[in-house]
């Protein structure tokens, strides 16, 4: 089997997802390639996977005709889906949704794409995220649906012990944009520094991807809250050493704060849990798959900084609760989100698609879930 996964650019959670699932599938004899229509700093993380950066339609068409892919998984890019149809691609053409911003934005986009997805997609693929599941069922009742968890590299991405820092660290991962809700993070950091004056704020992102107005507002708020000396921004940290940083944050007595409005999955949170770094988060939907309040992390109401402060202090100062949370979260990541689970689901999906191609009957809304 030969599979092509596509997205706009290698960055953030999509870069992680594509890299991890390709590695896992390749270990089980499935040849995987990646196609991005724009380059990005995340390409530095990709090793041992044939990767193409192409935006010219003629070059993409030549690639498709040359490689003879059995299955193409297109994430979000409706234009590319349309081109595949126009070029007469005859393999399995899967339209994937991993997250489209806020719930309102996601609905607006999917409604706009609805007719084209209906016309061109063989099947739909998405994670177990309630707002995505509900919209896909509502808008595409007659399509073939596949819904299963995204994978984590539980074998190579894990906790790494370091000597504890002499100060606590509040971590955050994301781009400076509205949906990531960075304002809550800065406000919480300022509040925590009242209790822990030596605390540092570590922010991880991609300084080549930002909204100019948001960036200007960010710099202004940092100055207003007098956080400049405590704030350290890391850009495009190689993924292979992010486990080190997350482990250090956890061992410092601090935590990761996820402030997003909406997430399709939430790789930052999942990988923090793998590294025994406790997590405080908004209920951004996608992370409900693995953040169970009081068991694997804590939620706070978006914008409620007083509640966020109380919850952060609880995880920092209640040693019993903190130990319970990091142990349970780490165990859950290994049990439910291993790459082996993803390979099994992907192979099941391909079997269903192959049966459908042969004309065998299958339920139009069949879901590939945990066996």
How far is 114 from 161, CA to CA, in rounded Å? 48
For the segment 266-272, the average pLDDT, to the nearest whole number, is: 96
Quick one: pLDDT band at residue 360, thresholds 50, 70, 90?
A: low
For the segment 342-356, the average pLDDT, to the nearest whole number, is: 95
Quick one: pLDDT band at residue 368, thresholds 50, 70, 90?
A: very low
353: its two tokens: 């698609």
Query: In the Cβ-directed half-sphere of 194, how many Cα atoms lie within 13 Å?
Result: 11
Q: What is the pLDDT of residues 92-122, one digit of tens each?
A: 999 999 988 889 999 999 999 999 999 999 9
- Report which secondary-structure segment, H or E, holds 12: helix 12-26
Locate all alpha helices (DSSP H) within 209-304, ordered by sequence.
Answer: 212-224, 242-251, 267-274
Nearest to 135 by CA among 124, 119, 150, 149: 124
Nearest to 255 by CA among 176, 191, 172: 172
Is the pLDDT assigned to residue 369 strictly greater than 80?
no
Quick one: pLDDT band at residue 370, thresholds 50, 70, 90?
A: very low
Lowest average pLDDT, out of 144-153, 258-267, 356-365, goes to 356-365
226: its two tokens: 């007098």
Is the pLDDT assigned to residue 371 strictly greater than 50?
no
Neighbours of 114 (CB within 10 A): 12
211: its two tokens: 């909204």
pTM across the whole model: 0.91
Task: Quote the percentage of the chain above a pLDDT of 90.
Answer: 92
Lowest average pLDDT, out of 18-22, 255-259, 282-286, goes to 282-286
Q: What is the pLDDT of residues 30-41, one digit of tens each?
A: 999 999 999 999
For the segment 151-159, the average pLDDT, to the nearest whole number, is: 95
Neighbours of 241 (CB within 10 A): 10
Domains and CATH numbers, the chain: 2-151+338-357 (3.40.50.2000), 169-336 (3.40.50.2000)
Is the pLDDT assigned to residue 312 strictly greater than 70?
yes
Quick one: pLDDT band at residue 227, thresholds 50, 70, 90?
A: very high
Is the pLDDT assigned to residue 165 strictly greater than 50?
yes
Q: What is the pLDDT of residues 175-198, one digit of tens each?
A: 999 999 999 999 999 999 999 999
DSSP 131-166: HHHHHHHHH-TTSEEEE-PPPB-TTTS-----PPPS
């Amino acid at each position: 089997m030969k599979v092509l996964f596509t997205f706009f650019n290698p960055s953030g959670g999509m870069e992680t997802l594509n890299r991890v699932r390709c590695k896992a599938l390749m270990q089980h004899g499935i040849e995987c390639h990646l196609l991005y229509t724009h380059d990005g700093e995340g390409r530095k993380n990709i090793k041992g996977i044939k990767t193409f950066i192409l935006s010219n339609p003629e070059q993409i068409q030549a690639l498709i005709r040359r490689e003879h892919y059995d299955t193409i998984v297109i994430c979000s890019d409706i234009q590319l889906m349309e081109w595949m149809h126009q070029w007469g691609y005859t393999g399995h053409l899967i339209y994937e949704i991993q997250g489209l911003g806020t719930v309102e934005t996601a609905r607006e986009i999917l409604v706009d794409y609805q007719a084209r997805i209906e016309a061109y997609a063989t099947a739909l693929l998405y994670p177990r995220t309630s707002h995505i599941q509900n919209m896909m069922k509502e808008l595409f009742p007659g399509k073939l649906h596949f819904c299963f968890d995204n994978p984590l590299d539980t074998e190579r991405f894990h906790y790494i012990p370091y000597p504890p820092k002499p100060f606590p660290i509040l971590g955050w991962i994301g781009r400076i944009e509205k949906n990531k809700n960075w304002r809550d993070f800065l406000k919480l950091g300022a509040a925590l520094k009242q209790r822990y004056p030596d605390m540092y704020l570590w922010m991880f992102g991609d300084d080549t991807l930002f909204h100019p107005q948001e960036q200007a507002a960010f710099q202004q708020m940092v100055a207003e809250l007098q956080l400049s000396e405590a704030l350290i921004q890391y850009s495009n940290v190689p993924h292979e050493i992010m486990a080190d940083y997350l482990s250090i944050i956890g061992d410092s007595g601090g935590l990761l704060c996820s402030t997003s409005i909406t997430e399709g999955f939430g790789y930052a949170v999942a990988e923090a849990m793998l590294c025994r770094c406790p997590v405080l988060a908004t209920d951004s939907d996608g992370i409900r798959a693995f953040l169970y309040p009081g068991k694997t992390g804590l939620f706070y109401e978006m914008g409620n900084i007083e509640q966020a402060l109380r919850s952060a202090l609880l995880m920092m100062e209640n040693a019993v609760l903190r130990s319970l949370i990091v142990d349970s979260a780490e165990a859950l990541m290994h049990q439910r989100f291993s790459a082996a689970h993803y390979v099994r689901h992907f192979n099941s999906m391909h079997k269903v698609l192959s049966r459908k191609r042969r004309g065998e009957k299958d339920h139009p809304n069949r879901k590939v879930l945990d066996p």
